[in-house]
Structure formats: structure tokens, C-alpha cells
């Protein structure tokens, strides 16, 4: 996982404060450098015990918790934190099967990102969680949804990259509109397929594949339009 901070930003005093909890010193250092370089204030902890000390002493806007830690693991820590706090939680783990993702979300975590991950996706997830936590649904009512350099206007059903209008089929437009209504959230396949879809109908997957070819840098490794296995799809927005 190569994290390049790119053009570094000095975190301002009112920047979101993140707590990164991971027993791997290399991961902690990389995440601290990367997220700090993107303008966030970042504090790190090596295990659950140290994280509890930091939580007692400081206020955080988002927690990034590794699941597989010795002693008290990330799932147990997230469960304990959620019992007394509503601070947003993003789980990081090498586990990626559906049962583990569900277990993470059942603890009250806001999102779940398996390792290894693309740093751009981490940044999108962090930004999305923080916006949803602070905007009280404002993003869902905005006329435009922006993601990866694209802008989708809900009212007109128009997708643009800069001044260029990206041509969409009716099915692609409908699917994108449904995802844009719930930015960053998983939309069930059944909701995207429609009430008249037959069991096992793969039409949604075909439309998703076509849409990815138009918006993703690498359609085979999508960052913006993601599959949530066993559930549906979600659109990661950047505003």
C-alpha cells in the first residue's frame, strides 16, 4: 500500500481530527503522513488501550480502526465506543468477506474498508463519512453530485466532466440517479433493478459495467461506483 501525500497541506486548527488505531507501525506512519498531507489533523494509537487514553483526553471527528489487533480487537473497541459515543468509525482490515463486513457494520461502524486499499478510496471514504456526519443530509438535497471530476445534475439527469457532456443511455441515467439520491450509501440491487425484475436478472450488472467504463480510470478496479457484495452498489462522492 503506497500512500503518496501529494501536495501537502498544513492542517488548520479547525480541520477534522482523526484517530488512527493500528498495531502495524508502518501503517500508522503511512496513514499519518498521507492524511496529514491532505489537511487533516491526525493522532495515532497502536492498540485499543492507547486509543482509549487518547479518546479520554481528546475530541475526534472520525476514528479509523484496524480490526485485527492483539488483545482487544477493533470490533470490540468499536462496540464499546459506540455504546457511549456517536463519533463516526471507519474499520480497516485484511478481512474482506461478507460476514466480516457485516460484523463490522453491526458494531455500529459507519463504513468498512479492506486492506490493501487505494489511498484515493480511503480519502473518499473519510471525506464522505465526515460530510454525512456534519451535513445532516444536505448533500442528498443538493442539485448536483460530484465524484472523481464528474458532476451529475439530478434535475436534468446530465453527467458532465468539466464542460464535456457525457452521453448516457436511459438505463445508465436512471441507475446513476438512484445512486446519487443516496451518495456514499449502499443502494440494494432490488431497488436498482425495479419491481418488475425477474430473480437472477443481471441487467443491473450490465448497466453498472457500462457506466464504469465512462467514469472510472480503471473499470476493472472501480473506485467511484463500488460493488457491495451481497447487497448492491454505492457511489462515492467527493463533495
21 & 110 share domain: yes
Q: Give the bridge partners for 145, in sequence order.
A: 152
196 & 110 share domain: no
Q: Within a domain: residue 116?
A: yes
Q: Within a domain: residue 199?
A: yes
Q: Within a domain: residue 5?
A: no
123 & 148 share domain: no
126 & 161 share domain: no
151 & 114 share domain: no
Rounded CA-CA distance 63/85 in Å is 11
Rounded CA-CA distance 2/22 in Å is 17
pLDDT tens by residue, 105-126? 777 788 888 888 888 888 888 8
Q: What is the DSSP annotation of the chain?
A: ------S-BPPPTTS-EEEEE-S-HHHHHHHHHHHHHBT-EEEEESSHHHHHHHHHH---SEEEEES--SSS-HHHHHHHHHTT----EEEEES--SHHHHHHHHHTT-SEEEESS--HHHHHHHHHHHHHHHHHTTHHHHSSEEEETTEEEETTTTEEEETTEEEP--HHHHHHHHHHHTSTTS-EEHHHHH-TTPPTT--HHHHHHHHHHHHH-SSTTS-SSEEEETTTEEEE----
Rounded CA-CA distance 208/104 in Å is 26
Query: How many domains is the chain partitioned into structurally?
Result: 2
102 & 204 share domain: no
163 & 118 share domain: no
Q: Within a domain: residue 7?
A: no
Last residue of a domain, one of 97, 117, 135: 135
114 & 207 share domain: no
Q: Within a domain: residue 148?
A: yes
For the cut 90, the answer to whether the pLDDT of residue 57 exceeds it is: no
108 & 146 share domain: no
pLDDT tens by residue, 8-55? 556 666 788 999 999 999 999 999 999 999 999 999 999 999 999 998
C-beta neighbour count of 218 within 10 angstroms: 9
Q: Within a domain: residue 1?
A: no
Rounded CA-CA distance 121/133 in Å is 18
Last residue of a domain, one of 90, 116, 135: 135
127 & 46 share domain: yes
Distance from chain centroid for Cα 213: 21
pLDDT tens by residue, 193-231? 764 444 455 788 899 999 999 999 999 999 999 998 878
Q: Within a domain: residue 121?
A: yes
Last residue of a domain, one of 110, 135, 160: 135
The whole domain housing 229 covers 140-235
In this structure, what CATH number is given to the domain that contains residue 206? 1.10.10.10
Task: Report the candidate in 32, 36, 34 with the shortest Cα–Cα distance to residue 22.
Answer: 32
27 & 117 share domain: yes
For the cut 90, the answer to whether the pLDDT of residue 160 exceeds it is: yes
Q: Within a domain: residue 145?
A: yes
In this structure, what CATH number is given to the domain that contains residue 58? 3.40.50.2300
Amino acid at each position: 500500500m503506497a500512500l503518496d501525500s501529494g501536495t501537502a497541506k498544513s492542517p488548520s486548527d479547525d480541520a477534522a481530527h482523526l484517530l488512527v488505531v493500528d498495531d502495524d507501525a508502518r501503517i500508522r506512519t503511512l496513514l499519518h503522513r498521507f492524511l496529514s498531507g491532505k489537511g487533516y489533523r491526525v493522532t495515532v494509537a497502536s492498540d485499543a488501550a492507547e486509543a482509549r487514553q487518547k479518546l479520554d483526553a481528546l475530541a475526534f471527528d472520525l476514528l479509523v480502526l484496524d480490526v485485527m489487533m492483539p488483545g482487544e480487537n477493533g470490533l470490540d473497541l468499536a462496540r464499546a465506543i459506540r455504546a457511549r459515543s456517536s463519533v463516526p468509525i471507519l474499520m480497516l482490515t485484511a478481512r474482506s468477506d461478507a460476514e466480516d463486513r457485516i460484523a463490522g457494520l453491526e458494531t455500529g461502524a459507519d463504513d468498512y474498508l479492506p486492506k490493501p486499499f487505494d489511498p484515493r478510496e480511503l480519502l473518499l471514504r473519510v471525506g464522505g463519512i465526515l460530510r454525512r456526519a456534519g451535513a445532516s443530509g444536505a448533500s442528498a438535497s443538493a442539485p448536483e453530485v460530484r465524484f472523481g471530476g464528474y458532476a451529475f445534475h439530478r434535475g436534468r439527469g446530465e453527467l458532465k466532466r468539466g464542460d464535456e457532456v457525457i452521453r448516457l443511455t436511459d438505463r445508465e441515467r436512471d441507475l446513476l440517479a438512484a445512486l446519487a439520491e443516496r451518495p456514499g450509501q449502499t443502494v440494494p440491487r432490488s431497488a436498482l433493478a425495479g419491481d418488475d425484475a425477474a430473480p437472477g436478472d443481471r441487467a443491473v450488472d450490465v448497466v453498472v459495467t457500462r457506466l464504469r467504463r465512462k467514469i472510472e480510470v480503471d473499470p476493472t478496479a472501480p473506485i467511484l461506483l463500488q460493488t457491495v457484495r451481497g447487497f448492491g452498489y454505492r457511489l462515492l462522492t467527493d463533495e
